[in-house]
Amino acid sequence: MSLAQKLDAIREAGAKRIPAEKRAVMGAATRALRESGIADGFIKVGDPLPEFALRSARGQVVRSADLLNRGAVVLTVFRGHW
């Protein structure tokens, strides 16, 4: 399954479990952010990733250099809490 297909599946699952009124609020917030131009400062596909070290959910320090030594890295940031 390609990354695009996986992302589509995630969107479809979200559409089924997130109430329409909440999806509307999330969609409006996403549109406002896009229109603000904030994405102009985002790291683009193919740009070098700045080095980082973050704690995993298990409290272990994860370093980007270590991950890159193992292959390509996809970084996703979740706002909010679980």
**Is 77 within the bounds of a domain?**
no
Domain residue limits at 30 = 3-70
Q: Is residue 81 part of a domain?
A: no
Does residue 32 lie within any of the structural domains?
yes
Q: Is residue 11 part of a domain?
A: yes
Give residue 74's pLDDT band: very low, low, confident or very high (50, 70, 90). Answer: confident
CA distance 3 to 8: 9
pLDDT tens-digit series, residues 4-54: 999 899 989 988 999 999 999 999 999 999 999 998 888 888 888 789 998
CA 29 to chain centre: 15
Please provide residue 80's backbone torsions phi and psi, each rounded to the nearest 5 degrees.
100, -155
Beta strands in the chain (DSSP E): 53-55, 61-63
Say if residue 67's pLDDT is above 80: yes
